[in-house]
Amino acid sequence: MFRSDTARAGFKGACSESMSLALSTLIYEWRRYMAAVVALAFSGLLVLAFAGMFMGMGKSFTATIDRSGADVMILAPGATQLFGGPSGVPRRLIPIIYQHPEVEVVDYIDLSGGRFESMDQAALRAPGATPPQGQRSESVMVTSIVTQPGNPTIPVDYSEALVEALRQPDAVVLDETALTRLGVQLGDEAIYNGHRVRVVGVTRGYANFMQPGMVMSRDTLRRYGEAYNGSRVGPLMVRLRDPARAEVVVAQLNAGANGQYRAWTRAELSAANEASMFEEGIIVVMLGFSVFLGGLIGIAITWQTLRGAILANIKEFASLRALGVGMGSLRRIIVELSFWVGIVGIGASFLLTWLISLLAGMFGLPMAFPLPMCLAVSALLLIIALLSGFLSLGMLQQSQPADLLR
């Protein structure tokens, strides 16, 4: 008789005496269920990685809002997001907003964009260099900040030294993720829309995949002739004396808006921006496709695994049937088994996704996993597992106790 006391000994502690048949079987015969768990893990990874990447992109998109020094932002009345669509307001609103007693500073967003060309730095420093030629050319999006202390356009995580560096003419700041793409390093000179600029600072956490972002002072932007000078400006950024009063002030401002503008708290606007990402058709299609594909693969493999597992224990089930245990009870065992497979699959899926996000983080690709998204994916995996369980219930019909009598 085959014995493997040592191999089994480890399970003794793991399977408590009162554990259910389904759970004991899953733990004891875990190898059999590996395929299903791995399939579920990859289904979850597929969805989580896609959604996490989009959420991460959204986060870096809204980073300028989330980390701006503004407590309140003021957009055109119909605008539902900061970028994309007309969100600017008339310049004459600025003094109107200042009338609110709790408002400290009002400024506005001023964006620009253009061509960014790196230069051969060695040739640049060589004595008697000829006027340098642009090398690599990329388009960049420019955000401008007003470098006065306490101005709401300055991101809260900008150090004093970084702001000071931006006060120099022609100074620009890039995110670390844009450096390779733009072919420059800290301290390099480059050409932006024909102007010589110098990279004076590098930020972290402002990745943007669509287009590298660049920051310069409003003064520099103005000297390049790219700043607002007409009667309209970008969305207003408002700093309050007491940031905790943002919601109250927003309500008061909106009450007196007369349809000329709409005030948002920073959090509100950030959420709206994030949500607007999911109104993008392509993202919904890709997410929907990953859910569909993940679901299909998950169900197919989990179903087959559970079928195999039932078949492997069919005689044992038949002997329970002979002893009078009804079909309903056996079905419950299978559904419980699929439930536990789902739970383990969810765990494996998050583990895998966590590893992938670590890897992505190393390449400067931020991923974000908000709790509602994680809950939704967990629910999806559990549904996949339970569905597979229900699909494999038919196998139990093969547990004919009369077959044990031969």
Indicate which single residue of 3, 160, 231, 282 sits in contact with another protein (rule: CB under 8 A). 3
By CB under 8 A, is residue 31 in contact with another protein? no
By CB under 8 A, is residue 318 in contact with another protein? yes
SS3 85: coil
Give DSSP secondary structure letters for 290-306. HHHHHHHHHHHHHHHHH
- Which option in Mg ion, another protein, none does residue 126 bind, with CB closer than 5 to 8 A by kind? none
By CB under 8 A, is residue 401 in contact with another protein? yes
HSE, CB side, 13 Å, CA atoms: give it for residue 15.
Answer: 16
Q: Closer to another protein by CB, 11 or 292: give it.
A: 11
Q: Which residue is nearest to Mg ion (CB)?
A: 406
Q: Closer to another protein by CB, 126 or 404: give it.
A: 404
Instruction: From residue 77, give the alpha-carbon distance in Å to each of 73, 143, 258.
Output: 12, 23, 10
CB 215 within 8 A of CB 75: no
- Which option in Mg ion, another protein, none does residue 157 bind, with CB closer than 5 to 8 A by kind? none
Backbone angles phi, psi at 244, to 5 degrees: -65, -15
CB 95 within 8 A of CB 260: no
By CB under 8 A, is residue 277 in contact with another protein? no
| Residue 16 Cβ vs another protein, minimum distance, rounded to whole Å | 10
Site stretch for another protein (CB under 8 A), options 10-18, 116-124, 185-193, 259-267: 10-18
Indicate which single residue of 218, 262, 266, 321 sits in contact with another protein (rule: CB under 8 A). 321
x/- site string to Mg ion, residues 377 to 406, per CB under 5 A? Answer: -----------------------------x
Tokens, residue 350? 């998050």
Q: Closer to another protein by CB, 272 or 393: give it.
A: 393
Distance CA 323, CA 154 (A): 76
By CB under 8 A, is residue 25 in contact with another protein? yes
Indicate which single residue of 12, 92, 115, 136 sits in contact with another protein (rule: CB under 8 A). 12
What string of H, E and C letters represents the secondary structure of 253-283?
Answer: HHHCCCCCCEEEEHHHHHHHHHHHHCCCHHH
Indicate which single residue of 203, 220, 270, 313 sits in contact with another protein (rule: CB under 8 A). 313
By CB under 8 A, is residue 170 in contact with another protein? no
Which ranges of 19-69 would DSSP assign to H, the alpha helix? 21-28, 30-66
171's CB contacts (< 8 A; 6+ apart) are 165, 197, 198, 200, 201, 216, 217, 220
Indicate which single residue of 105, 282, 316, 353 sits in contact with another protein (rule: CB under 8 A). 316
Indicate which single residue of 122, 210, 255, 402 sits in contact with another protein (rule: CB under 8 A). 402
Distance CA 236, CA 153 (A): 9
SS3 252: helix
By CB under 8 A, is residue 325 in contact with another protein? yes
- Which option in another protein, Mg ion, none does residue 77 bind, with CB closer than 5 to 8 A by kind? none
User: Residue 115 carries which DSSP code?
Assistant: E
By CB under 8 A, is residue 398 in contact with another protein? no
Q: What are the DSSP E strand ranges found in 121-194? A: 134-145, 171-175, 189-192
* Number of residues assigned to the chain: 406
In the complex, which residues of this chain contact another protein (CB under 8 A)? 1-5, 8, 12, 15, 17-18, 21, 24-25, 27-29, 313, 315-316, 318-327, 329, 401-402, 404-406
